[in-house]
């Protein structure tokens, strides 16, 4: 069981998915990525496996296999076999590296490799559970990434709109100053006509400004509704995970 303070604080997604399985959580906290699209290689799995066979480093291939397995539930059994096979081959590769370190007298490094072997062994034995958690974990992370991307796009649009509004107001102010300067050079009749036109232009400017403010208010309300819908969807997915 996790310590009471860990239970009382808000659980992370991975803690939620692993429940009381401490070992599963410990291993997956090292093997699942918060931003998988940026962390996992874009190379084909077959290419990564070939590279692993040549280099003895199976981690990129394992990461890719777990991610692909999480995205292709209809091929679950196939990916279970792939991940298990890669984990077993990784054990052999790391074991050879550990023996070499021990022969060279590098006992500290050999010990760290021993921990890696245990993680791969656990992975080979609990591959199904790992893919089950990874499927839910990466599903939620990818949905959150999409929400974040859309939110960033809306924020960019708002910043652009704010910048355009400042430019419009600066231009309007510049035009007002220019008209006043020009009016001072006019005679009495010219100033009277200029004031009349200034009043008409000021009213038109105010109407345009109100129109822009209404659009901004509508956009802000729409943003609030979108955020509320996204929050509701996240909570619904969390409840669904609890029931499954």
pLDDT in tens, 172-226: 899 889 888 888 888 888 888 888 888 898 898 889 989 999 988 998 899 899 9
Q: How confident is the model at residue 108 (pLDDT cuts 50, 70, 90)?
A: low
What pLDDT is stored for residue 197 in this prediction? Answer: 87
Which of 140, 164, 191 finishes a domain? 140
pLDDT at 37 over 50: yes
DSSP state of 10: P
| 133 and 15 in a common domain | yes
Count helices and strands (H / E) in the chain.
10, 0
| 154 and 121 in a common domain | no
What are the tokens at 31?
A: 């093997």
Residue 38 domain boundaries:
4-140
Which of 94, 124, 140 finishes a domain? 140
| 207 and 166 in a common domain | yes
| 188 and 94 in a common domain | no
Give the Cα separation of 200 and 158 in Å (integer). Answer: 30
Per the structure, how many domains does the chain have? Answer: 2
Predicted model pTM: 0.78
| 20 and 92 in a common domain | yes
């Amino acid at each position: 069981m996790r310590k009471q303070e860990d239970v009382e604080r808000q659980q992370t997604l991975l803690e939620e998915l692993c429940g009381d399985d401490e070992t599963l959580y410990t291993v997956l906290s090292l093997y699942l990525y918060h931003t998988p699209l940026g962390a996992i290689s874009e190379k084909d799995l077959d290419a990564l496996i070939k590279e692993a066979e040549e280099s003895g480093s199976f981690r990129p291939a394992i990461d890719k296999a777990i991610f692909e397995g999480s995205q292709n539930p209809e091929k679950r059994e196939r990916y279970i076999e792939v991940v298990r096979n890669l984990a077993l081959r990784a054990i052999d590769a790391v074991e050879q590296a550990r023996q070499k370190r021990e022969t060279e007298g590098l006992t500290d490094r050999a010990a760290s490799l021993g921990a890696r072997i245990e993680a791969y062994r656990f992975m080979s034995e609990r591959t199904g559970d790992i893919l089950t958690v990874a499927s839910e974990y990466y599903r939620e992370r990818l949905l959150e990434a999409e929400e974040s991307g859309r939110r960033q796009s809306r924020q960019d649009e708002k910043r652009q709109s704010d910048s355009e509004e400042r430019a419009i107001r600066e231009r309007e102010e510049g035009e007002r100053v220019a008209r006043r300067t020009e009016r001072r050079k006019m005679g009495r009749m010219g100033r009277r006509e200029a004031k009349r036109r200034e009043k008409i232009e000021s009213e038109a400017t105010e109407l345009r400004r109100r129109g822009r403010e209404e659009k901004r208010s509508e956009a802000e309300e729409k943003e609030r509704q979108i955020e509320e819908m996204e929050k509701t969807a996240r909570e619904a997915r969390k409840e669904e995970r609890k029931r499954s």
